């Protein structure tokens, strides 16, 4: 997949409560970041991708969607009406304005690129201005969720802080996003145009991307096998994130000591989506993830 996984947007009602729960899961989180369009976030940051806990914190400043203009905040506001969970997937980009033009030409996103900035709190307590450009893509066959590319328009050292990347659970990186869909094959064309990669089909599943940067779409039978603790409905949605960790036994000890229930299926440690506000987490040891 030419565009690697950049980050996952996990939409929650109460950011403070969600942050406490994710810290119980063994993640270190960045201080709260405030967007100029009514949302706030905290990040679980890894080497080159991250998980974003996001809440609508100022509904009065959320801009409505309009023809040709995708509203990031309004999308997540609507998503929360049906519950918490992963609402969006972002892929890395070095030029989101060019991506917006490509999405438009590919008929997967007739939206203007979106540029914004916010203040990021540094480990020492100061702040730095960071800027981003986003290009959005949506598919009528996947209502309620969305995709975008994310370009960081600031020096990397202002954002990627080593102090924020050490997690008690040993998490190193998001390596796979898992989706559910009644008919995975229906979504191959969109995902190929989104990623400029080639989808692989197997009974009950579709995958796109290389090991370590993969999107997987599972049908009902494969979902029941791989993610038995995840309820599914008729709409395609994001169900789980797989993370590489340094030592799976150590991850298990952290979760057990923190009172987090989990099960081990083969070489995967699986937590319930209820523990992480709607997104199941699969932890795998680094050698297994990339070997």
Q: What CATH number corresponds to the domain at position 102?
A: 3.10.180.10
Judgement on whether residues 17 and 125 belong to the same structural domain of the protein: yes
The verdict on 137 and 244 lying in the same domain is no
Q: Pick from 139, 164, 189: which residue ends a domain?
A: 164
My answer on whether 142 and 178 are in the same domain is: no
Residue pair 95/151 in contact (Cβ under 8 Å)? The answer is yes
**Residues across the chain:** 291
Do both 62 and 125 map to the same domain? yes
**In terms of domains, do 227 and 150 share one?**
no
87 and 118 share one domain: yes
Residues 6+ apart with CB under 8 A from 208: 1, 188, 191, 192, 195, 197, 198, 199, 200, 214, 215
147 alpha carbon, distance to own chain's centre: 10
Domain residues for the domain of 158 are 5-164
Residues 55 and 158 in one domain: yes
Contact 267, 206 (CB under 8 A): no
Which of 133, 164, 195 is where one domain is finished?
Answer: 164
Q: Where do we find the tokens 């709260």?
A: 32
How many structural domains compose the chain? 2
158 and 54 in a single domain? The answer is: yes
Give the pLDDT score at 1.
45
Residues 9 and 153 in one domain: yes
Are residues 285 and 185 both part of a single domain?
A: yes
Residue listed under structure tokens 């405030």: 34
58: nearest Cα among 9, 8, 15: 15
What is the dihedral angle through the alpha carbons of 186, 280, 36, 127, rounded to the nearest 10 degrees? -130
Q: Both 139 and 29 in a single domain?
A: yes
Q: How many CB atoms lie within 10 A of CB 90?
A: 23
DSSP letter for 158, please: G
Please say whether the beta carbons of 179 and 237 come within 8 A: yes
Give pLDDT, residue 289: 64
Q: Which of 6, 5, 13, 8 is nearest to 279 (CA)?
A: 8
Q: In angstroms, rounded to a whole number, what is the distance separating the alpha carbons of residues 244 and 50?
A: 12
Tens digit of pLDDT at every position of the chain (291 positions): 467 999 999 999 999 999 999 999 999 999 999 999 999 999 999 989 999 999 999 999 999 999 999 999 999 999 999 999 999 999 999 999 999 999 999 999 999 999 999 999 889 889 989 999 999 999 999 999 999 999 999 999 989 999 999 999 999 999 999 999 999 999 999 999 999 999 999 999 999 998 899 999 999 999 999 998 887 778 999 999 999 999 999 999 999 999 999 999 999 999 999 999 999 999 999 876 655
Is 51 in contact with 42 (CB distance < 8 Å)? no
Q: Are residues 84 and 227 in the same domain?
A: no
> What single DSSP character describes residue 25?
T
């Amino acid at each position: 997949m030419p565009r690697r996984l950049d980050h996952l947007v996990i939409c929650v009602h109460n950011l403070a409560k969600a942050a406490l729960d994710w810290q119980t899961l063994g993640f270190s989180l960045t201080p709260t970041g405030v967007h100029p369009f009514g949302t706030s976030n905290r990040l679980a940051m890894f080497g080159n991708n991250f998980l974003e806990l996001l809440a609508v914190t100022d509904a009065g400043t959320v801009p409505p969607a309009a023809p040709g203009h995708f509203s990031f905040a309004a999308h997540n506001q609507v998503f929360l009406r049906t519950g918490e969970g992963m609402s969006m997937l972002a892929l890395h980009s070095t030029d989101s304005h060019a991506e917006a033009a490509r999405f438009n030409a590919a008929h997967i996103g007739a939206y203007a690129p979106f540029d914004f900035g916010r203040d990021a709190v540094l480990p020492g307590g100061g702040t730095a201005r960071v800027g981003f450009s986003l290009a959005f893509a949506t598919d009528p066959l996947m209502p309620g969720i969305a995709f975008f590319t994310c370009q960081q328009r600031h020096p990397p050292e202002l954002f990627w802080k080593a102090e924020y990347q050490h997690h008690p659970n040993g998490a190193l990186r998001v390596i796979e996003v898992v989706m559910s869909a009644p008919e995975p094959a229906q979504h191959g064309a969109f995902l190929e145009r989104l990623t400029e990669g080639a989808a692989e089909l197997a009974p009950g599943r579709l995958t796109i991307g290389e090991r370590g940067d993969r999107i997987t779409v599972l049908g009902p039978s494969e979902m029941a096998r791989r993610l038995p603790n995840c309820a599914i409905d008729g709409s395609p949605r994001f169900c789980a994130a797989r993370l590489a960790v340094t030592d799976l036994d150590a991850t298990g000890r952290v979760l057990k000591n923190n009172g987090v229930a989990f099960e081990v299926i083969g070489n995967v440690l699986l937590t319930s989506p209820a523990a992480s506000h709607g997104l199941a987490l699969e932890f795998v040891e680094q050698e297994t993830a990339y070997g």
